[in-house]
Amino acid sequence: MKTQIKLSLALAIAIALNSLALQAQDQAAAPAKPKTMQEILDATQPGDWRPLNPNNTIYLELATGRVVIELAPKFAPEHSKNIVALARERYWDGLSINRSQDNFVVQWGDANGDDEKLKRSFRLAKQTLPAEFVRKSDGLAFTRLPDADGWAPHVGFVEGMPAAQSPVNNQAWLTHCYGMVGAGRGMEPDSSNGSELYVVIGQSPRQLDRNITVVGRVVQGMELLSILPRGTGPLGFYEKAEQRVPIKSIRLMADVPDEDRTSIEILRTDSESFTQLVEARRNRRDDWYKVPAGHIDVCNVPIPTRPIKK
């Protein structure tokens, strides 16, 4: 992509094509030139990519399409298990998205969750879980970014999720970047059970880090959630029942027939290709850029996906 801003659709396509031509030249004539993100992706090997684990991925089905969410059992084992159990008992089917707060979160679950009489009961899932705000850094394959971060001593990635760690107290946690999914809770740290979920739709609310259990990340379909009309009630809740967005179903990928699965793979964040990609984003080589930033925020790093070639 030679430019970020402006351009008609026609010009964008023209430049995209031209870009490919230029890249071909670059690779032939000047291999030493730093690669662009596209060149790095084009040069990846099959081993740089990983499929989604069907037992660790859920599909949120809306009238507008499917949102694919990868769970993070390494950080939230109890919540991940309970979310799988809730999906298997079809807990969310027919429930709704009840909250859309601009530049903050979109949230779904049981709109009557606080009404003991009306709320939907669990069949197999647990009612209560321990808080899983942080975990021990020990035993975690943490791909650290060299870049400074104001919110945490170290930031980087763990198996495709933005994360942070503190060597001082041997803690690690997932960071509230765009598209990260968390388990809503009340005032008590252990008051979440995974039935009420939210996704970050704006500037990363990193102040939530270590204050709530982060359960995973949207790997496809964010644009179905981020465009939902904002709620006009307190905290962005929809004020009228008819404003809520119905959830057709939430299913575990493993419970969906092969032919109905979303067939994508994700660039491994522990691959050399990903490290190159981060540098290409840290210092943009696109001709459009005049001043490379020389820095990148953990929440500004894209985690590429692509269709699996069949």
Secondary structure of the chain: what % helix, strand, coil (to 5)? Answer: 25, 25, 50
**Rounded to the nearest whole angstrom, what is the least distance from the CB of residue 8 to a copy of itself in the complex?**
4
218: which 2 tokens? Answer: 């949207």
Residues in Cβ contact with 143 at an 8 Å cutoff, skipping those fewer than 6 apart: 156, 157, 158, 269, 270, 274, 275
Identify which of residues 178 and 252 has a Cβ nearer to a copy of itself in the complex.
178
CB 87, min distance to a copy of itself, A: 19
C-beta of 157 vs 198, nearer to a copy of itself: 198
C-beta closer to a copy of itself: residue 93 or 149: 149
Contact of 234 with 198, CB cutoff 8 Å: no
Indicate the residue among 160 and 179 with the shorter CB distance to a copy of itself: 179
Please report how close the Cβ of residue 40 comes to a copy of itself at its closest, in angstroms. Answer: 16
Q: How far is the CB of 297 from a copy of itself (least distance, A)?
A: 6
- Rg, the chain, Cα only: 21
Select 252 or 277, whichever has its Cβ closest to a copy of itself. Answer: 277
CB 306 within 8 A of CB 265: yes
Other beta carbons within 10 Å of 125 = 20
Task: Identify residue 116 by its one-letter amino acid code.
Answer: E
Report, in Å, the least distance between residue 53 CB and a copy of itself: 25
